[in-house]
Structures are given as C-alpha cells and as structure tokens.
C-alpha cells in the first residue's frame, strides 16, 4: 500500500493540515526562539518582518505521550480541538491517521473519531479496531477523498475507558490489491488519558463561552 502523505483529516469544520509557509526571496527567516526576523546581511539594522500566523490554520497546542492536541481558532477566539496520532506500519511507514473529538452529552457515543486510510484500502472489508488484543469491532468506511478513505466511528463511555486503561489499540485494514491480507497498525495509548481530559476541558470552555 502507498503511504498516506500525512495530511491530517478534517475535524468536521476544518482540515488539520500544517502547510509550510514558503519563504520568499529576500525575506528574513523567523528565529525559532523569539519568532522575530533575523537581521538580513544586506540591510543591517532593518527588520525584514515576520509573516503573521493565519488564525484559521490548525496548530499543535500540546503533546501528551504519543498524542498531539491539535486546535484551530473558532469564533470569539475559542478553540476547536481534537486528539491526533499518525499510525505507522511495522516498517515505520506512515499509513493512517486517527483523530478523536468529544461529542455533546445525552447520546450513546461520548466521543467520535475519524480514521483516514490510504485510497488503496478495500472498502468492503471494513476497518477493525481492538484494544490490547481484546475483541475487535468492525466499522464501515463513509467516503473517500483525494487524501484517503474515511471511517467515522462513535465511541461509548465504556470504550473510551478501555482507551484510558489500555496500552495500545490495533487498527486493521485490508489492501485492495491483496484482499486476502491484512495490515495491522498500532495505535499507542500512551498519554491518552491526559490528552483526552485536556480535550474535554477545552470543549467545555468553548461551549460555556469562557
């Protein structure tokens, strides 16, 4: 299977991509420590300026173990966030992406997740997810786009608890070119509890307007 290029999936309202801002000729590169422009050798004492960050672009707010807390600024400067992890195969190739987000109270699922797999995935085989070698559940694929195929899943409170207590989950997909084979991708649960708790608190603050 071809590697997924690492374009993070949309969190309903936005795509969690991190495009690299190309530096134009003559512009000074921002300092990694201060974020200010370094002095251009041809213009001593003159600031060359620093590109202003696009508020609509996602950013990594924090890291918890093997999870990233990725956010984007929404209305009234609130943040919409999700937990993100890039899944790799046994050879270390980037293959899929796992993105988790909290859901409103009062429904069976307390959290949702978008799992993005390569376009060469056999869609009729469904995706399988299991925690610590436990019983797997099958999930259908919802649609495919130019960045991959999406399985949109719901997780109950009990299932989120298995993530909290577990060491690793396994996402299993089937290549379209080899329908009799499976590809198992390890989803590390290191840092999940702290990351999920932070995610829930951010969502509560957003909904309350704090």
37 belongs to a structural domain: no
Residue 42 in domain: no
pLDDT above 90: residue 160: yes
| 40 inside domain | no
Q: Identify whether the C-beta of residue 83 lies closer than 8 Å to the C-beta of residue 69.
A: yes
pLDDT computed for residue 150 by the predictor? 97
At residue 191, does pLDDT exceed 80? yes
Nearest to 183 by CA among 99, 98, 118: 118
Give yes or no for a contact between 169 and 128, defined as CB atoms under 8 angstroms apart. Answer: no
Give the residue-averaged pLDDT of 39-59: 70
DSSP assignment string, 74-110: -GGG-EEEEEEEEEE-TT--EEEEEEEEE--SSSS-S
Percent of residues, the chain, with pLDDT higher than 70: 75
Q: Is residue 162 part of a domain?
A: yes
Q: Does position 13 have pLDDT exceeding 90, yes or no? A: no
**44 occurs within a structural domain:** no
Whether the CA torsion 187, 191, 196, 198 is positive or negative: it is: negative
Q: Which residues pair with residue 169 across a beta bridge?
A: 131, 187
How far is residue 199 from each of residues 14, 45, 64, 95, 204, measured CA to CA in Å? 16, 44, 11, 25, 9
| Strand pairing report for 168-173 and 137-139 | unpaired
Least confident among 64-68, 87-91, 155-159: 87-91
φ/ψ of 130, rounded to 5, equals -140, 150
Q: How many domains does the chain have?
A: 1
Strand 148-155 relative to strand 111-117, pairing: antiparallel
Boundaries of domain holding 108: 59-208
CATH label of the domain that carries residue 132: 2.60.40.1880
Percentage, residues of the chain above pLDDT 90: 61
CA nearest to 96, candidates 113, 116, 112, 114: 116
Query: pLDDT class for 63, splitting at 50, 70, 90?
Result: very high
pLDDT at 53: 59
Q: Report if residue 21 sits inside a domain.
A: no
Put simply, whether the predicted model's pTM sits higher than 0.85 gets the answer no
Does any domain span residue 170? yes
Residue 31 lies in a domain: no
Beta-carbon contacts of 48 under 8 Å, excluding residues fewer than 6 positions away, are 26, 27, 28, 37, 38, 39, 40
């Amino acid at each position: 299977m071809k590697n997924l290029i690492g374009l993070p999936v949309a969190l309903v309202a936005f795509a969690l991509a991190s495009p690299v801002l190309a530096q134009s000729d003559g512009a000074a590169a921002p300092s990694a420590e201060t974020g200010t422009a370094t002095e251009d050798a041809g213009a001593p004492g003159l600031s060359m300026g620093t590109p202003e960050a696009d508020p609509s672009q996602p950013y990594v707010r924090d890291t918890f173990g093997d999870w990233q807390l990725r956010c984007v600024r929404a209305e009234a400067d609130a943040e919409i966030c999700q937990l993100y992890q890039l899944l790799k195969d046994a050879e270390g190739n980037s293959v899929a992406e796992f993105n988790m987000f909290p859901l409103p109270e009062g429904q069976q699922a307390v959290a949702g997740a978008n799992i993005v797999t390569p376009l060469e995935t056999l869609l009729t085989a469904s995706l399988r997810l299991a925690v610590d070698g436990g019983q797997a559940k099958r999930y259908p694929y919802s649609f495919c786009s130019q960045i991959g195929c999406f399985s949109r899943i719901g997780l109950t409170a009990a299932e989120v608890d298995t993530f909290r207590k577990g060491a690793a989950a396994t996402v299993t997909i089937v290549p379209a070119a080899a329908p009799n084979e499976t590809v198992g991708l390890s989803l590390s649960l290191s840092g999940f509890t702290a990351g999920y708790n932070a995610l829930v608190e951010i969502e509560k603050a957003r909904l309350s307007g704090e």
